[in-house]
């Protein structure tokens, strides 16, 4: 696989981009817990934290879903990037300059042989968007008599807010953006990739501006780069769509973007909630009213991906949808995504107005902030909604309403919370709790049956597992943990193990690379660059991360015990022999002997089988047979000597 970023630049990024700092910028709940840092995992849904970050090793590891790696891997997973884009992203964030390569300088898009868009393309597409956003902003300011400016004034958005959200105007032209981009040094293929142009013909030879005579809202990604636009028509009765959005591109994935999250990301944990608006204008209205923890899904519907992103910041979602039928439907659709993920859901109501924007212009900032502050609990909203459709004076009507609301309550993931709401509902409807619970139980059973069917269906699609030599895998893994912990054993194993004895697994390749580094006197700094290299190749590095984490944990425990003893204080109990300053020496020797013995047994057995196959393929009178037989004899005697050479002392 081609490498586009020089090693010394990768080292610089690794040094500067501290993993605690990077993880915390995405997972504000990350807290120090003893020797490591902990939080609920940003990659899978959980209630108790099993996601840990080790600042000494600069790695993260989730014991729930198994994801792990270094700072590059973390950004790859969270931002959905390939290795080079993740490295580039971190370089940008920490102000590290990546030297220009011919591919970058030319500005032309090139694809590597596996079809992945090359490093540099992403950066150029973001830069193109940022320049274009400034161009649209200037155009709005410089054309106050134009139709877009006239419409914009009716929205009553002050200039400082328009500046912050970089609201602009696209000229009424087929090629204004194209000409601007050309002047800035961008080529047509980049314009096509970015989605800022359209084309009617199949091979896209004739391109024209996608956004014409529209109010332009730049869309930022989570880390504050502009990656697309949402463009609103300014005509009272638009010919085309009311909104035209950037199509999905290498940098724009609408199901994973939340408008204004870049501005809201620090305010959300502080407020303990996120406000979810219907569109950009509502989100802007919220921010104007001081509700700075507001975001809006990009495009149409709110997605589970977007909910998972928000879950990293908070567990309370305040839905601020329009005060109409479509808005009410949206509340239930969003709740169906949010409740099973463990969110508390609230609903904003706008008395006397249709949405956030109108509340702000009619009643002012305090009224809008107040509406958010006094948002209704989702189940209260659901009950009101259900009651409005039945006759609440009859038992049958109340039963139907209860049935409706219970449907939503069973989606709550927490049992205690569910019980709380059953009780609340029973009191509201004046029915016995036991009948609510009976209905709920039936619903839960039905739900479980549904998901069991789904799980089976998923399982059927999985390929059958490959047969594995687990004893050998374990031995390689144990050796890896040991040589990560103690340099002495890395040097010893480097002398003893043949180059191809450790196999192709990730722990095997990592161990082999570490042995070579130990021979070159580079043992200390090797693990992090080995990890980066394997990640860059797209390998599953979870076992390597686990080994690094285990080794670092043992070393830290030993240090803590020794420090306590020196200070004359009671020492903490070691978690295993390797973490005990005294026992570790014997334990290490035994681990080394047993794992190396197993690895060599496997290696010699394989070699002998290969040689025997070679002998069989030869004619009976071939002169090479003698040499081969001698070799086989040597291997057999080496095999016999292994138990005595690598004794395990109990
Ligand atoms: Zn996880």
What is the pLDDT, as a whole number, of residue 462?
A: 36
Considering only CA atoms, which of 95, 111, 126, 114 is closest in space to residue 9?
Answer: 95
Q: Which of 8-22, 142-156, 190-204 has the lowest mean pLDDT?
A: 190-204
pLDDT digits (tens, 9 = 90+) for 212-223: 999 999 999 887
Q: How many other CB atoms are found less than 10 A from the CB of residue 323?
A: 18
CA 45 / ligand 1 centre spacing (Å)? 7
**Ligand 1 centroid from CA 74, angstroms:** 12
For residue 238, the CA-to-ligand 1 centroid distance in Å is 46
Distance CA 449, CA 419 (A): 21
Report how far ligand 1's centroid is from the alpha carbon of 350 (Å): 38
Tokens of 244: 């035209």
**Distance, CA 69 to ligand 1 centroid (Å)?**
12
Q: How many CA atoms lie within 13 A of 268 on its CB side?
A: 26
Q: Tell me, in angstroms, the distance from the centre of ligand 1 to residue 67's CA.
A: 6
- Residue 506 CA to ligand 1 center (angstroms) comes to 20
SS3 at position 603: helix
Q: What predicted TM-score, i.e. pTM, was given to this entire model?
A: 0.66
C-alpha of residue 51 to centroid of ligand 1, in Å: 6
- Confidence band of 131 (pLDDT split at 50, 70, 90): very high
Q: Compute, in angstroms, the gap from residue 313 CA to the centroid of ligand 1.
A: 15
- pLDDT: which is higher, 326 or 148: 148
Mean of pLDDT over the chain: 85
What separation in Å is there between the alpha carbon of 27 and the centre of ligand 1? 13
| Token pair listed for 581 | 């300053």
For 632-638, the CB contacts below 8 A with 24+ separation are: 632/608, 635/604, 635/607, 635/608, 635/611, 636/608, 638/600, 638/604
First to last CA, the chain: 46
Give 603 Cα–ligand 1 centroid separation in angstroms.
36
Q: Compute the distance from residue 290 Cα to the ligand 1 centre, in Å.
A: 34
Taking only the tens place, the pLDDT of each residue in 146-185 is 999 999 999 889 999 999 999 999 999 999 999 999 999 9
Q: How far is the CA of 235 from the centre of ligand 1 (A)?
A: 48
The answer on pLDDT for 110 being more than 80 is no
Work out the percent of the chain whose per-residue pLDDT is above 90: 37
* CA 413 – ligand 1 centroid, Å: 17
Strands (E), 160-293: 168-169, 197-199, 207-209, 214-220, 226-233, 243-245, 258-259, 274-277
Residue 66 Cα to ligand 1 middle (Å): 6
Residue 82 CA to ligand 1 center (angstroms) comes to 20
Q: Tell me what percent of the residues of the chain surpass a pLDDT of 70.
A: 91
49 CA from centroid of ligand 1 (Å): 9
Distance from residue 255's CA to the centre of ligand 1 (Å): 21
Centre of ligand 1 from the C-alpha of residue 262, in Å: 24
Distance 37 CA to ligand 1 centre (A): 14
Ligand 1 mean position, distance from CA 540 (Å)? 15
CA-CA distance, 517 to 530, in Å (whole number)? 10
Residue 376's DSSP bridge partners are 347
377 CA distance to ligand 1 centroid (A)? Answer: 29
Q: How far is the CA of 63 from the centre of ligand 1 (A)?
A: 7
Taking the centre of ligand 1 as the mean of its atom positions, its distance from the CA of residue 52, in whole angstroms, is 9
- Is the Cβ–Cβ distance between 434 and 400 less than 8 Å? no
Instruction: Give the distance (Å) from ligand 1 centre to CA of residue 306.
Output: 17
**Average confidence (pLDDT) over 427-452:** 77
User: In this predicted model, what pLDDT tens digit does every residue of 269-307 receive, in sequence order?
Assistant: 889 999 999 889 999 999 999 999 999 987 667 888 889
Dihedral-angle region of residue 120 (phi above 0 means left; psi in -120 to 50 means alpha; beta otherwise)? left
């Amino acid at each position: 696989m081609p490498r586009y970023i020089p090693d010394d630049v990768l080292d610089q990024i690794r040094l500067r981009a501290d993993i605690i700092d990077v993880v915390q910028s995405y997972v504000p709940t990350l807290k120090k817990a003893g020797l490591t840092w902990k939080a609920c995992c940003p990659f899978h849904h959980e209630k108790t934290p099993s996601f840990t970050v080790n600042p000494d090793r600069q790695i993260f590891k989730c014991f729930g879903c198994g994801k792990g790696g270094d700072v590059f891997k973390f950004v790859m997973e969270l931002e959905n990037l390939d290795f080079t884009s993740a490295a580039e992203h971190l370089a940008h964030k920490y102000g590290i300059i990546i030297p220009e390569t011919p591919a970058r300088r030319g500005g032309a898009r090139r694809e590597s042989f596996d079809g992945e868009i090359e490093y540099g393309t992403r950066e150029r597409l973001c830069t193109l968007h940022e320049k274009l956003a400034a161009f649209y902003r200037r155009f709005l300011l410089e054309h106050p008599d134009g139709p877009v400016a006239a419409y914009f004034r009716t929205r009553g958005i002050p200039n400082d807010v328009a500046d912050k959200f970089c609201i602009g105007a696209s000229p009424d032209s087929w090629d204004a953006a194209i000409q601007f981009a050309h002047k800035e040094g961008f080529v047509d293929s980049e314009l096509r990739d970015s989605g800022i142009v359209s084309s009617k013909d199949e091979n896209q030879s004739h391109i024209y501006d996608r956004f014409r005579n529209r109010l332009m809202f730049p869309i930022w990604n989570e880390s504050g780069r502009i990656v697309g636009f949402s463009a609103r028509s300014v005509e009272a009765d638009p010919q085309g769509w009311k909104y035209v959005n950037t199509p999905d591109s290498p940098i724009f994935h609408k199901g994973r973007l939340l408008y204004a999250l870049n501005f809201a990301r620090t305010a959300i944990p502080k407020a303990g909630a996120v406000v979810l608006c219907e569109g950009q204008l509502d989100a802007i209205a919220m921010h104007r009213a001081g509700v700075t923890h507001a975001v809006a899904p990009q495009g149409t519907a709110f997605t589970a991906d977007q909910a998972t992103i928000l879950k990293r910041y908070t567990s309370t979602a305040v839905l601020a949808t329009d005060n109409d039928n479509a808005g009410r439907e949206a509340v239930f659709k969003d709740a169906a995504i949010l409740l099973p993920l463990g969110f508390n859901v609230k609903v904003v109501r706008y008395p006397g107005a249709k949405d956030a924007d109108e509340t702000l212009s009619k009643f002012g900032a305090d009224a809008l902030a107040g509406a958010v502050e006094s948002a209704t609990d989702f189940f209260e909203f659901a009950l009101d909604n259900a009651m409005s459709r039945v006759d609440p004076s009859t038992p049958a009507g109340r039963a139907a309403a209860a049935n409706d609301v219970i449907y939503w309550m069973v989606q709550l993931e927490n049992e205690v919370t569910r019980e709380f709401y059953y009780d609340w509902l029973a009191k509201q409807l004046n029915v016995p709790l036991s009948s609510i619970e009976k209905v709920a139980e039936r619903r839960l059973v039905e739900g479980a049956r549904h998901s069991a069917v789904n799980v089976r269906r998923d399982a059927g699609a999985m390929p059958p597992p490959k047969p594995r030599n687990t004893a050998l895998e374990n031995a390689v893994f144990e050796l890896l943990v040991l040589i990560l912990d103690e340099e002495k054993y890395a040097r010893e194993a480097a002398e003893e193990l043949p180059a191809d004895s450790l196999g192709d697994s990730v722990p095997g390749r990592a161990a082999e690379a570490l042995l070579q580094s130990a021979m070159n006197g580079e043992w200390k700094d090797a693990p992090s660059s080995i990890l980066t290299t394997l990640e860059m190749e797209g390998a599953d590095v979870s076992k390597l991360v686990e080994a690094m984490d285990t080794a670092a944990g043992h070393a830290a425990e030993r240090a803590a015990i020794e420090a306590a003893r020196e200070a004359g204080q009671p020492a903490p109990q070691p978690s295993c022999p390797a973490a005990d300053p005294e026992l570790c020496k014997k334990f290490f020797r035994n681990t080394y002997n047993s794992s190396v013995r197993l690895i060599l047994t496997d290696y010699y057995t394989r070699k002998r089988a290969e040689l025997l196959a070679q002998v069989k393929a030869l004619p009976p009178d071939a002169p090479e047979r003698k040499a081969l037989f001698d070799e086989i004899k040597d291997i057999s005697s080496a095999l016999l000597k292994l138990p005595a050479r690598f004794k395990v002392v109990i």
